[in-house]
Amino acid sequence: MISFLNANATIIIYLVKIALLLFIVLTVNAYLTWFERKVVAHMQSRWGPHRVGPHGLLQPLADGAKFLLKEDPTPAGVDKFTYFLAPLMALALALTSIAIIPFGPEPLHIRGRDITLGIADLNIGILALFAITALSVYGVALAGWSSNSKYPLLGGLRSSAQMVSYELALTMSVVGVLLLAGSFNLRDIINAQAHHPERGILGWNVWPQILGFFCFFVAAVAETNRVPFDLPEAESELVAGFHTEYASFKFAMFFIAEYTSMITVSCLCTIMFFGGWLSPFPASWTFTHYLPSVILLPFGLWVIWDGIRYETIFGKIILPGVGAAITAMGAVLIAFPAVNEFIQGPFWLLGKIFVFLFVYVWMRGTLPRFRYDQLMSFGWKLLLPVSIANVVITAFAILMWGAR
């Protein structure tokens, strides 16, 4: 057995990593829905989910169970194969794109093996990622077409057009970053932003590439079909858009795909423009390495305190448990400097991703929806020219003063 494990270590490590990442991404997805509902609710002066579990924390599980148990009718006249294929495709492609994201700088050393954080470390990382996200339009288009219904058809048409046009601006807007880094590899792009460790936040790509960042973020929001670009599923116009005819877990698949691509885009934003796992502070400020514990410890204690005075028995048990785990994590980070050093990269990366996810939710709570023609003219007449201009300016600047 041991010899088998040793002989096939690489494959097994990959399989474990894939399973782990899948588990994490799906859990984060589920709690992203909770987070979104909670944040939007508080923005709208209501409570959001608060019945299932303490603070509604078990709501995602309840939703998941509901999706699995619901009847899954297939409407008459659908193109069966495509109808089943579409949600699968949407979900599979969305999950695949996560595989390319690196989650931390240092590999984990276990029994003499280096285990990198992240699954695929491709030298054409960003290209592969865009290739995968570009394919995800198929899920939406096929769903709209195969449903044999008019609202999904319109939704599918809208989103194919939208995703194809914004794909261009999305790709063009990162060219500046690629020119600066001189590589397609996501790790190289992050490391390129660490050329001047003493500058900290000022060394990130977002400053020289501020135009590119705005174009990228807007295009990415449009690419993920989120507010204010959620036309494919504009509920007030197209009922539910391309997934009108989907129910039960097939609907959940579209849902998970959408949230996964939200996470991917937040990862990309962080990596391309906000220094990935780099700390915003200059490298000499080593005391900032205790920031994770400084955040975790009080938060854990607060959760314990909140749990003790919670009104239900369940909450009284669960919340202090979670709080104790968080506090313990904070304590471990202080106690073991090696662990603390290792956690710095993932901490900043995840923190920045979280900020972007919050921005997504924030926009959802604030903005109205674009109209189809306005969306198209915005994409083609503003976003694309600006991002091309950004490429030209960046290239010219690099020619004049060099990449660094």
Binding site for another protein (CB under 8 A): 40, 43-46, 150-151, 154, 158, 227-228, 230-231, 234-239, 364-374
Q: In terms of CB distance, is 64 or 365 closer to another protein?
A: 365
Least gap, CB of 235 to another protein (angstroms): 6
Least gap, CB of 245 to another protein (angstroms): 15
| DSSP structural state of residue 381 | I
Q: In terms of CB distance, is 228 or 346 closer to another protein?
A: 228
Q: How many residues does the chain have?
A: 404
Least gap, CB of 233 to another protein (angstroms): 11
Rounded Cα distance, 76 and 305, in Å:
54
User: In terms of Cα–Cα distance, which of 393, 86, 7 is closest to 209?
Assistant: 393
Q: In terms of CB distance, is 240 or 294 closer to another protein?
A: 240
Q: In terms of CB distance, is 112 or 368 closer to another protein?
A: 368
Measured CA to CA in angstroms, residue 318 lies from 52, 79, 167, 308 at distances of: 13, 46, 44, 10
Least gap, CB of 113 to another protein (angstroms): 49
Rounded Cα distance, 28 and 35, in Å:
10
Q: In terms of CB distance, is 103 or 378 closer to another protein?
A: 378
Measured CA to CA in angstroms, residue 264 lies from 29, 132, 223, 256, 390 at distances of: 11, 11, 11, 12, 23
User: In terms of Cα–Cα distance, which of 380, 355, 28 is closest to 222?
Assistant: 380
Structure tokens at 187: 């790790």
Least gap, CB of 227 to another protein (angstroms): 6
Structure tokens at 158: 């809208």
Angle value at C-alpha 89, between 86 and 93, nearest 5 degrees: 150
Least gap, CB of 146 to another protein (angstroms): 17
Q: In terms of CB distance, is 27 or 44 closer to another protein?
A: 44
What is the separation, in whole angstroms, between the first and last Cα of the chain?
52
User: In terms of Cα–Cα distance, which of 42, 30, 47 is closest to 362?
Assistant: 42
Least gap, CB of 50 to another protein (angstroms): 16
Q: In terms of CB distance, is 71 or 373 closer to another protein?
A: 373
Can you spell out the DSSP letters for 358-371?
HHHHHHHHH--PPP
